[in-house]
């Protein structure tokens, strides 16, 4: 797969799978605009990519604030003239991210709002901000990050499950609107991924947790010309977890 001179925006890219995806895209020839709410971290990540011979622009943005999202898209267009790829990685279970481990009915509404805004609205905002450019250039790929939780549900992550289910609906609807203009939209829904130690405890049929590169490899395939006939689908990469029967 090659992404020579492709321009990619990746959210949640100061660390984890977002950063790994950016690094892999750069290795394949892309230029990346990496976005994160943590200004120092995202600028350091971009500088590291540049030091290694790639081209990266690190921008701070809170995905919950549309003006900041729109500014990122505008900066990418100003610098590069096009946006070929959008990867919506920004997100996380609000109970963990906000350190509020309570049943759904006891969660403060502020925690619920944070989860919906980051996990669903943030992706909607970024898709909205780049879709016009992709339609105008008659080409583009968006990959939204779902979760196995959006498919199987979770009593301990009700809000997160709802948001990630919404991501699947967003993907299908955007795929329909983008198809006449050469814009493809896909969703990747991982099961447990070894981005932090706690994930190793989640069960899968294959008896292990995914390595981050396994998920990133699937995402890059969907972004490539090899997947030119793929749009609107949700791709589970969960080690068979959703086959049923897991405790």
Q: Residue 245's pLDDT is what?
A: 65
CB 86 within 8 A of CB 133: no
Q: Residue 156's pLDDT is what?
A: 87
Please name each of the domains of the chain with its CATH number: 7-243 (3.40.50.720)
Tens digit of each residue's pLDDT, the chain (247 residues): 899 999 999 999 999 999 999 999 999 999 999 999 999 999 999 999 999 999 999 999 999 999 999 999 999 999 999 999 999 999 988 888 888 899 999 999 999 999 999 999 999 999 999 999 999 999 999 999 999 999 999 888 899 999 999 999 999 999 999 999 999 999 999 999 988 777 777 889 999 999 999 999 999 999 999 999 999 999 999 999 998 766 5
Global pTM reads 0.95
Question: Which residue in the list 66, 160, 221, 235 is annotated as catalytic?
Answer: 160
Q: Residue 246's pLDDT is what?
A: 61
| Residues ≥6 apart with Cβ < 8 Å to 213 | 20, 24
Does the active-site annotation cover 80? no
Q: Residue 21's pLDDT is what?
A: 98
**What are 95's two structure tokens?**
């109970």
H helices within 101-230, ranges in order? 109-116, 122-137, 149-152, 158-178, 212-223
């Amino acid at each position: 797969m090659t992404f020579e001179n492709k321009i990619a925006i990746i959210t949640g890219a100061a660390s984890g799978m977002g950063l790994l995806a950016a690094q892999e895209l750069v290795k394949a020839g892309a230029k990346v605009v990496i976005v994160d709410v943590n200004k120092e971290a995202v600028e350091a990540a971009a500088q590291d990519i540049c030091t290694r011979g790639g081209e990266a622009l690190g921008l701070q943005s809170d995905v919950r604030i549309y003006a900041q999202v729109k500014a990122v898209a505008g900066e990418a267009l100003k610098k590069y003239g096009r946006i070929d790829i959008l990867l919506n990685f920004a997100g996380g279970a609000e109970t963990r991210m906000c350190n509020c481990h309570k049943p759904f009915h006891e969660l403060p509404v502020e925690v619920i709002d944070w989860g919906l805004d980051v996990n669903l609205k943030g992706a909607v905002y970024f898709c909205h901000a780049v879709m016009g450019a992709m339609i105008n250039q008659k080409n583009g790929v968006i990959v939204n990050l779902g979760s196995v939780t959006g498919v199987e549900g979770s009593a301990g992550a009700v809000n997160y499950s709802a948001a990630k289910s919404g991501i699947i609906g967003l993907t299908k609807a955007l795929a329909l609107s983008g198809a006449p203009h050469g814009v493809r939209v896909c969703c990747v829904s991982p099961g447990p991924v070894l981005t932090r130690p706690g994930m190793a405890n989640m069960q899968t049929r294959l008896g292990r947790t995914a390595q981050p590169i396994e998920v990133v490899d699937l995402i890059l395939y969907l972004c490539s010309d090899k997947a030119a006939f793929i749009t609107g689908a949700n791709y589970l990469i969960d080690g068979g977890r959703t086959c049923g029967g897991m405790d």
